[in-house]
Structure 1
Amino acid sequence: MASSLSVVLCALLGLLLWGGVGWLLARRLGLLGGLSLPLAPALGWAVQNALALALAQGFGLSLWTMLGAALAIVLVSLRRGVPTDPGERLPAWFYAAAALVALAPAVAILPKFTEDGVLLGAAIYDHAKIALTAEFIRHGIPPINPVFAEPGTSPGVAYYYLWQFGAAQLGRLTGSSAWEADAASTWFTGFATLCLMAGIAFHACRSRIAPVIVLLACATASLRPTLAMLFGEAARDHVLLTSTGLGGWLYQTSWAPHHMASAGCTVLAALLLARLAVQPSVRVALVLALVVAAGFGSSIWVGGVTFALAGGVIALALLPVARPGWRDLFVIGGVAAALGAAALVTPMALEMVAAGRARGGGAPIILDHVQVLGNYFPQPLRRILDAPGYWLVLLVVEFPVAVVGTAFAMRRWRHLLPRHPEASRAATALALLALCSLLCGWVLVSTAGENNDLGWRAVLPAILVLTAAAGAAVAQAWRARPVVVGLVMLLTIAAAAPDGASLIAGNVHGHPSDQARQFAQAPAMWEAVRRHAAADDRVINNPRLMRRVTPWEVNISWALLADRRSCFAGHEMALAFVAMLPERRLAIWEQMLRVFDGVGTAEDVTALATQYGCRVVLLTAADAAWSRDPFADDPRFRLAEARDAAWRIYVIGD
């Protein structure tokens, strides 16, 4: 199981590695008037990871490429120039408070030890990608698909994996497991984005109220539970669609920190574009390229689709207000940064393009605005009202503190930042990023998976910008009308607090499961498997094993504990990682289920040994095939180890 001590060690290394180089780089760039410390974690993470990944693709993932990337950033940061002194800085207590708030999503990833066994948080379902982090730790770059292998299919990974690569660096440098590195990286992502939002808010108004509002906004969540308490769940669900998949900082960082990290990269990229407009330089363009590449590498939906649209709009808006006489250099720098980012992400992008073709289907993105209202409104009136309902109802319900707080500044958004040209350009860039982000979430729908991942994640840059704007706007309005502003924000925070408290409680206590005791015994089982499986061997187990440990079925014990590749890790994992037609994926899924249900044919069992590259088979007492063992009398399978009433491990080909 993951050790809390190892998680802390990884987190401290992340602060040193990414926060240290980010601080030096932010000081040299002079973003936010030189307010470098709150930008450091997000900036250092983006630049070091993008550069380390590029180096690893050429020279392999090693101590030299990981630390070499950091050293290169340090050398660039120490070149001539005098860093800007921002004067007043964020108070030290904020960083301590941000570190505590960032524990709320990170604790969802840790195991919860109880008298009945080990529980997992619901969010661990989306962290089954820990298997990919383990692949990086074992074998480095380029990654071999840990989920599935078959002759004729691409051995690569059809997924955006920079965030998992970053976690793997922590694992390699500390000797920690992928699970521990993932939990630490989740905390670091939360801490970095909190600092980024608070830094922008504080720079806008120089008030210590601003970072407090940021923290409160991120510790709260949706109004849905409060609406249910006031009007009843039936009435609420009658008026509003039950769920749209949207979620605020707390939910998204718990479930999908890679998308949140990508959103942080888009905010940094907007600030860098504004900086490029007033100070065109090779250094700014290079950093911009690395940050954009990091955003794409962490999320094709946020750093790819959303920023591709927003970045072009921001650049066009900044061109007329670029520093006089430097517009040509701004264009050249912007184009160079775009080409540099494209070159950095090409290997990953080609794999995803090939995967899209292999999966078949229609267009990966379609136009269709979000459904908001419930069946209280008849069709087709409901679909007509859904369009404004997104802006007037859904955003307020899902992101109440950020939206209500920002409303204080709607008439004077240009004055959120100090009144000088560079600050105005930064305000314009951030405002356009937020607007494009919300527009993408409103009308774009992804069809590549079972859910609208694009719509769910596209709004994340707007969440970061609006939360920062809310902090600044409330702090400014507080000075003029403290009673009114204080009362409005108190009511809003109180209304959004129950859902935030519920999410935090779920992260802390975990998902109740009658398989908690079985999962507590899983580490010993997978340790036994590793004794008989080499580092590059593939193992097969029942993909539905311990399926009730998580709220939705996923091969979670393999993903967290196996530290080995799988022959077929399950339908959910294959959907994310494997370039395969849906019909073929479903056929293999059903084939594996037949084998472990004890009703597989001889051809099904043979396929494990000859078609899917399986080397080791894990059969457990929880599998229906335990009493109808299809491997016991097959000469291709040798029983390597067994524990009575627990598991049997077969080795193929000896």
Structure 2
Amino acid sequence: MVSLPSLLPCILLALFLWALPGWLLARRLGQGRTAALALAPALGWATQTPAALAVAHLFGLSPVVIIGSAALVSLCALALPRTRDEAAFPLSALVFAGLLALVPMLGVLPKVTADGAIALASPIYDHAKIILIDEIAQNRAIPPANPVFGAGGAAGTVAYYYLWHFGAAELALLSGAQGWAADAAATWFTGFAALALVAGLAFRLNPSLSAPFLALLAASAGSLRPVLAALFGGARVDHVLEPASGLAGLLYQTSWSPHHVSSATACVIAVLLMARLRAGRCAGEATVLAGLIGLAAAAAFGSSLWVGGVTFALAGTAAALVLGLSPPPVGRLRFLAALAGAALVALALVAPLLMAQIHAAAARGSGMPVQMVPFPVLGPGWPQALRAVLDPLSYGLVLLPVEFPGVLFAGVVGFALVFTGRVAGRAEQQTARALGALVIVALAVSAALQSTVGENNDLGWRAVLPAVLVLAAFAGAALAAALSRAVETTRARTGLALLAAGLALIAIGLPDTLALARRNIAGEQSADGRTFASDPALWQAVRRHVGPQVRIASNPARLEKLTPWPINLSWALLSRRRSCFGGEEMALAFAPLSASARTDAAALFGRVFAGMGTAEDVATLRRTFGCDGIVVTPQDGAWTADPFVSSALYRLAEEKDGRWRIYVAREAAP
């Protein structure tokens, strides 16, 4: 199980692997020594991970490939011209960002209760993909095998956007840590990189000591729902508004889905690089920047189909058009040519994953993955016909102010201040226009488009993330400007009013943040917590009998009370072994199976491990699903009605007093 000693090396490796190359690049992109540190984590991750994945496709994954890719990205800095900008960014803001990033990381870690059980926070449900990190780190095959399903026991392919998990696997491979520790470290780094990017961008817009801290406060504010529930009652709020969903603030989304947040940071990095490309005058610099933009775009797509694929395809194009059409006309053709080259680089890098996703979508037969459907905002207290009319308007006028009070108002004011020249210079104004296009289109995608691949509207929930990052930075710049005006006698009243309004909105969003932190720290105790605490020994025994490329069958519903939704977390977090069917929820994301095939497989495995399986069912596990190992525990109905004990297809490899039975396939099975 993950522990602090296994976590710290991964964090240090993340800083070395991503922040160091990012700092070298940022220093050549007009950032001062300290200001470059704020941009470095996001920039380094957005360039090293897609570069390492591309090289691993050619030469396999190894420490040499990982370190060599970081060195290659670092060398790109030498091809960029030197620039001077020595504004003193406050390093304490990075410390603050690192502390805030502990909130999502703590949601991933196990908590030991007084009676020795393990409590887990709800976000761990979405971190069941840790099994993919272990698959990549152990077998080092790129593209990785599918750890959830492989027809007939074959390796299979992963159509999920797995670049973030590949980055975590780099940490696991270099440190020797398990996937759970690497996931926790990568979650912290993702939060740190996103928050540092917000602070650095705020400082770039308004180089005052207060701007980064105010931007971080704005980014950390949560929803107004707890305050509204306290004032009017939760039932009444849910009657007026749709219940809370995954469309939420930065810390919440990093807790649950850090890969989407990383994709959003890569989108913002790509737009910042576009702005630098538009302002450049050197053909050699344009070539390097085109490559970096291509890497960042590939990192965005590789970590999230919804953020880096659908959203950035539209929002990034809008940002590029804004930059291309902006004055001066000199350099416009070079800019467009370089962007075309960047698009080709990105397309080449994402082609393997894109083709895998197309094939998986065809195999699932789920139809169009995106539909134009307004985001539901108003609750059941409104007539259905009226909701259909008002929902599109309510998204911007009601939902965004409720869910993002800390960034929306002050962020819009910040944009206005930059556009009118009251904050930032001419170069920052051009960058702000491109970022404004990114924000507007990202919010429009979230409001109007809906993903249909899974059970949730991941597109609507995640498309807001680039906008949240940018708005938080502009909010910090605006509040810092208001603070400076508040001390001036001529404009004190205006500055105080803006500052008070912005801080008040941040303050009423903080109860939601504190509640998130409390849940992530304490976790949720369950009846299965004590059993889960003893499961590392079970999976250690399994690993003694089956290798990392062997597929095992275990009860997909085992310890289902560990999380609010049923999933076999024991296997996903601790086994470090492939499954022949990891459950319907995991198959929905990873397996190229139709809905009916997933349902049939779930019924088969449920029947067998409930103790109602027949000899024919056991034969199906072996021959159709390629289950070469079987794990039976007292939590399974099969413990007392064991269909494997009399099977000619399996032999008992180990039985531990009332704790587990491990079967392996007979070599000469008929």
Q: What TM-score do the two structures reach when normalised by structure 1?
A: 0.97
Shift of 1:63: 1.4
Give the unaligned 5+ runs of structure 2: 486-493
CA gap of 1:237–1:566, structure 2 versus 1, over 3 A, is: same
Aligned residue pair count: 653
Deviations for 1:124-180, whole angstroms, at most 9, x for unmatched residues?
100001000101001121201000111498811010000000000001111111100
User: Hey, what does 1:266 align to over in structure 2?
Assistant: 267
CA gap of 1:457–1:417, structure 2 versus 1, over 3 A, is: farther
2:463 to 458, 464, 468: 458
1:341 to 346, 349, 353: 346
Deviations for 1:549-586, whole angstroms, at most 9, x for unmatched residues?
11111111111110010010100000000111100111
Match for 1:409: what amino acid?
G
> Helix, strand or coil for the counterpart of 1:553?
coil
The answer on whether the counterparts of 2:267 and 2:300 sit within 8 Å (CA) in structure 1 is yes
Matched, 1:206 2:218: no
The answer on whether the counterparts of 2:223 and 2:248 sit within 8 Å (CA) in structure 1 is yes
The answer on whether the counterparts of 1:204 and 1:417 sit within 8 Å (CA) in structure 2 is no
1:427 to 402, 423, 432: 432
For structure 1, which segment, 379-388 or 455-464, has the greater mean C-alpha deviation from structure 2 after superposition? 379-388
Matched, 1:618 2:617: no
For structure 1, which segment, 491-500 or 186-195, has the greater mean C-alpha deviation from structure 2 after superposition? 491-500
Residues of 2 paired with 1:629 and 1:377: CA distance?
53
Residues of 2 paired with 1:558 and 1:405: CA distance?
45
The answer on whether the counterparts of 1:409 and 1:416 sit within 8 Å (CA) in structure 2 is no
Match for 1:102: what amino acid?
A
User: Hey, what does 1:108 align to over in structure 2?
Assistant: 107
The answer on whether the counterparts of 1:618 and 1:648 sit within 8 Å (CA) in structure 2 is yes
Matched, 1:127 2:127: yes
> Helix, strand or coil for the counterpart of 1:535?
coil
User: Hey, what does 2:18 align to over in structure 1?
Assistant: 18
Shift of 1:205: 1.1
> Helix, strand or coil for the counterpart of 1:78?
helix
Match for 1:44: what amino acid?
G
> Helix, strand or coil for the counterpart of 1:48?
helix
Shift of 1:600: 1.4
CA gap of 1:410–1:468, structure 2 versus 1, over 3 A, is: closer
Deviations for 1:463-522, whole angstroms, at most 9, x for unmatched residues?
101111111111112222453234323422231121111111111011221111000011
Shift of 1:223: 0.7
Match for 2:598: what amino acid?
R
Match for 2:93: what amino acid?
F
> Helix, strand or coil for the counterpart of 1:29?
coil
2:559 to 537, 546, 550: 546
**Pairs within 5 Å for 1:69-468:** 69-79=69-79, 81-82=81-82, 84-116=83-115, 117-140=117-140, 141-151=142-152, 155-279=156-280, 281-321=286-326, 323-409=328-414, 411-415=416-420, 420-468=425-473
Match for 1:599: what amino acid?
M
User: Hey, what does 1:592 align to over in structure 2?
Assistant: 605
The answer on whether the counterparts of 1:262 and 1:295 sit within 8 Å (CA) in structure 2 is yes
Deviations for 1:407-430, whole angstroms, at most 9, x for unmatched residues?
433543424786544322211111
Match for 2:57: what amino acid?
Q
Shift of 1:34: 9.4
Matched, 1:527 2:540: yes
Matched, 1:42 2:25: no
**Pairs within 5 Å for 1:628-639:** 628-639=641-652
User: Hey, what does 2:592 align to over in structure 1?
Assistant: 579
Match for 2:473: what amino acid?
A
Match for 2:107: what amino acid?
A
User: Hey, what does 2:549 align to over in structure 1?
Assistant: 536
For structure 1, which segment, 471-480 or 424-433, has the greater mean C-alpha deviation from structure 2 after superposition? 471-480
Deviations for 1:330-350, whole angstroms, at most 9, x for unmatched residues?
111000000110000000100
Residues of 1 paired with 2:532 and 2:557: CA distance?
13
The answer on whether the counterparts of 1:277 and 1:322 sit within 8 Å (CA) in structure 2 is no
The answer on whether the counterparts of 2:34 and 2:91 sit within 8 Å (CA) in structure 1 is no
> Helix, strand or coil for the counterpart of 1:201?
helix
Deviations for 1:166-199, whole angstroms, at most 9, x for unmatched residues?
0000011111111000000000000001110111
Match for 2:223: what amino acid?
S
Residues of 2 paired with 1:419 and 1:245: CA distance?
34
The answer on whether the counterparts of 1:417 and 1:423 sit within 8 Å (CA) in structure 2 is no
**Pairs within 5 Å for 1:496-511:** 496-511=509-524
Deviations for 1:530-564, whole angstroms, at most 9, x for unmatched residues?
00011211111000111011111111111111001
Residues of 1 paired with 2:376 and 2:187: CA distance?
30
The answer on whether the counterparts of 2:31 and 2:86 sit within 8 Å (CA) in structure 1 is no
Deviations for 1:53-107, whole angstroms, at most 9, x for unmatched residues?
000000000112111111112222124632x232222212111111111100001
Residues of 1 paired with 2:182 and 2:478: CA distance?
37
Residues of 1 paired with 2:342 and 2:608: CA distance?
52
For structure 1, which segment, 582-591 or 381-390, has the greater mean C-alpha deviation from structure 2 after superposition? 381-390
> Helix, strand or coil for the counterpart of 2:661?
strand
User: Hey, what does 2:490 align to over in structure 1?
Assistant: none
- RMSD over aligned CA atoms reads 1.7
> Helix, strand or coil for the counterpart of 2:444?
helix
The answer on whether the counterparts of 1:275 and 1:422 sit within 8 Å (CA) in structure 2 is no
Shift of 1:235: 1.4
For structure 1, which segment, 276-285 or 436-445, has the greater mean C-alpha deviation from structure 2 after superposition? 276-285
> Helix, strand or coil for the counterpart of 1:380?
helix
Match for 2:383: what amino acid?
P
Shift of 1:602: 1.8
Match for 2:104: what amino acid?
P
The answer on whether the counterparts of 1:637 and 1:653 sit within 8 Å (CA) in structure 2 is yes
Residues of 2 paired with 1:158 and 1:469: CA distance?
36
Match for 2:365: what amino acid?
G
Residues of 1 paired with 2:412 and 2:647: CA distance?
70
Residues of 1 paired with 2:220 and 2:560: CA distance?
30
Matched, 1:609 2:622: yes
Match for 1:128: what amino acid?
A
> Helix, strand or coil for the counterpart of 1:618?
strand
> Helix, strand or coil for the counterpart of 1:164?
helix
Identity of aligned residues (%): 47
Match for 2:85: what amino acid?
P
Shift of 1:5: 1.7
Shift of 1:218: 3.1
> Helix, strand or coil for the counterpart of 1:445?
strand
Residues of 1 paired with 2:386 and 2:79: CA distance?
62
User: Hey, what does 1:516 align to over in structure 2?
Assistant: 529
The answer on whether the counterparts of 1:34 and 1:86 sit within 8 Å (CA) in structure 2 is no
> Helix, strand or coil for the counterpart of 2:632?
strand
Shift of 1:31: 6.0
For structure 1, which segment, 206-215 or 176-185, has the greater mean C-alpha deviation from structure 2 after superposition? 206-215
Shift of 1:322: 5.1
The answer on whether the counterparts of 1:416 and 1:473 sit within 8 Å (CA) in structure 2 is no
> Helix, strand or coil for the counterpart of 1:650?
strand
Match for 1:499: what amino acid?
D
